[in-house]
Amino acid sequence: MVSETSPHPHHPQADRPVYVIGGGPGGLAAAAALRARGVRAVVLEKAESVGASWHHHYDRLRLHTTRRLSALPGLAMPRSFGRWVSRDNVVRYLEKYADHHELEIVTGVEVTRVDRAPDGHGWLLHASGGRELTGSAVVIATGYNHTPHLPDWPGRGRFSGKLLHASEYRDAAPFAGRDVLVVGVGNTGAEIAVDLVEGGASQVRIAVRTPPHLVRRSTAGWPAQLSGILCRRLPVALVDRLSRPLARISVPDLSEHGLPRPETGLYSRVKEGAIPVQDVGLIDAVQKGRVTPVAAVESFEGDKVTLADGTLISPEVVIAATGYARGLEGLLGHLDVLDDRGHPSARGARTPANAPGLFFTGFTNPISGMLREMRIDAERIARVLAKSLT
């Protein structure tokens, strides 16, 4: 159960700010939207700068959403950034955004636990350095990609090659001339595989458990993001049906190269949590044999990797593009506001029915674009809180 108008029961006190946990785009957007409505918001960021996670993404990363539809509330992204904004320009934008809105940001502070305030009005935050902070409401914006997830493959610890999570990957230079296996064919894995090929890796394979839906980032000037926005307004079965012929027209059949078309419909997969892979060179690399799809990883033994089809391979390097956990259990697990996957049970302007005044943003990866949804969430959260705090 969730509540739309939430914070009625806790009667917030005027001298208690709204605390926003996380200084990434979701947290900054929420703070700016609250400030625009006259609500004091304090951003708490455990790193020493805003947008910290963006500083550590791989170098070639560009947004798969357009510049215009990726801007946060109250500040457009500069046209000079181009249509597909680079990682470095995202960082510049977030830094400028915080300055432009004169946001109240405290860096170097990690919140470790959130409890209800002892007086029943708002929330008590336990933070590094023994701090205890009481806020009228809390916005959790610690990020979708919070804690790298590395599967506990049998024999993983005995692998004699190099094993790293995709979060540790920066560029292809250290892997030039080497045999590399990328595990996972989401957007990150696909882009890293292409980067490795272009950076001179001697052999690049990509382990695939479930074939993804491949889409062009833009077709005849029409970005895939706009199609994603439209899809959210249509029935799942209809989108599945319409996407099949479009995929056959726009994306070649890669079955003979080891990457068959998915059996499940595109939007059905999205509802299961699998976002389509926007092509930034993978299709061409697979067609030309520069990236070789192989079966999923089952186990490790010495210098060997066993695949699901029984094949043994000996890559020098394994890069696990196996996703992230939300990492919310320690912070909020005792409040009964997470589902069985550790995801928030509510988002945006909706709060858990048993936790009014506790908001979440940035914990979904929607087909319409994460930054766009953060902007929408921020404005909705601000509207609800401004109404409840006055």
Phi and psi at residue 78, to the nearest 5°: -60, 140
User: For strand 358-360 and strand 137-140, is the pairing parallel, antiparallel, or unpaired?
Assistant: parallel
Separation CA 294–CA 313 (nearest Å): 10
- Of 288, 320, 352, which closes a domain? 320
pLDDT at 233: 84
In sequence order, what are the residues at sequence separation of 6 or more whose Cβ sits closer than 8 angstroms to the Cβ of residue 155?
299, 300, 301
**The tokens of 5 are what?**
């108008």
Q: Which two tokens stand for residue 135?
A: 């806020």
Whether residues 88 and 25 share a domain: the answer is yes
pLDDT score, position 15 = 78
| Cβ proximity of 51 and 90 under 8 Å | yes
The per-residue pLDDT for 8 is 39
> Tokens representing 234?
């249509």
User: What is the domain range of residue 196?
Assistant: 149-320
Do residues 272 and 360 share a domain? no
| 19 plus 98 within the same structural domain | yes
Q: Please indicate, yes or no, whether residues 246 and 352 belong to a single structural domain of this protein.
A: no
Number of domains in the chain: 2
Residue type, 385: L
Is 179 found in the same domain as 30?
A: no
Q: Taking the mean position of all CA atoms in its chain, how far away is CA 326?
A: 9
SS3 35: helix
pLDDT per residue, tens digit, the chain (390 aa), is 343 444 434 444 557 999 999 999 999 999 999 999 999 999 999 999 999 999 989 999 999 999 999 999 999 999 999 999 999 999 999 999 999 999 999 999 999 999 999 998 899 999 999 999 999 999 999 988 888 999 999 999 999 999 999 999 999 999 999 999 999 999 999 999 999 999 999 999 999 999 999 999 888 888 989 998 988 889 999 999 999 998 999 999 999 999 999 999 999 998 888 889 999 999 999 999 999 999 999 999 999 999 999 999 999 999 999 999 889 999 999 999 999 989 999 999 999 999 999 999 999 888 899 999 999 999 999 999 999 987
Those residues whose C-beta lies under 8 Å from the C-beta of residue 40, and which sit 6 or more positions away, are 17, 18, 34, 104
Q: Hey, what's the torsion of the CAs at 191, 196, 202, 205, to 10 degrees? A: -30
Residue 109 shares a structural domain with residue 177: no
d(CA 375, CA 25): 9
Beta bridge partner(s), residue 181: 205, 318
CATH number for the domain including 125? 3.50.50.60
Concatenating the DSSP letter of every residue in 272-285 gives TT-PPEEESSHHHH
Q: Concatenated DSSP letters for 6-48?
A: --GGG---TTSPEEEE--SHHHHHHHHHHHHTT--EEEEESSS
| Residue type for position 225 | Q
Among residues 320, 350, 368, the one where a domain terminates is 320
In this structure, the answer to whether residues 161 and 278 fall within a common structural domain is: yes
Please, which residues have CB within 8 angstroms of residue 327's CB and are 6 or more apart in sequence? 142, 146, 147, 342
**Are residue 305 and residue 331 in the same domain, yes or no?**
no
* pTM for this prediction: 0.91
Closest listed residue to residue 181, CA positions, set 200, 211, 208: 208
pLDDT of 14 reads 59
Question: Domain boundary residue among 266, 291, 320?
Answer: 320
User: Based on the domain organization, do 120 and 41 belong to the same domain?
Assistant: yes
DSSP calls for 227-239: HHHHHTTS-HHHH
Backbone angles phi, psi at 204, to 5 degrees: -130, 120
- The answer on 9 and 51 residing in a single domain is yes
Q: Are residues 171 and 155 in the same domain?
A: yes
Residue with structure tokens 């809390």? 138
**Nearest 5°: phi and psi at 193?**
-60, -45
Domain co-membership, 185 together with 244:
yes
As a whole number of Å, the end-to-end CA separation of the chain is 25
Residue type, 173: A
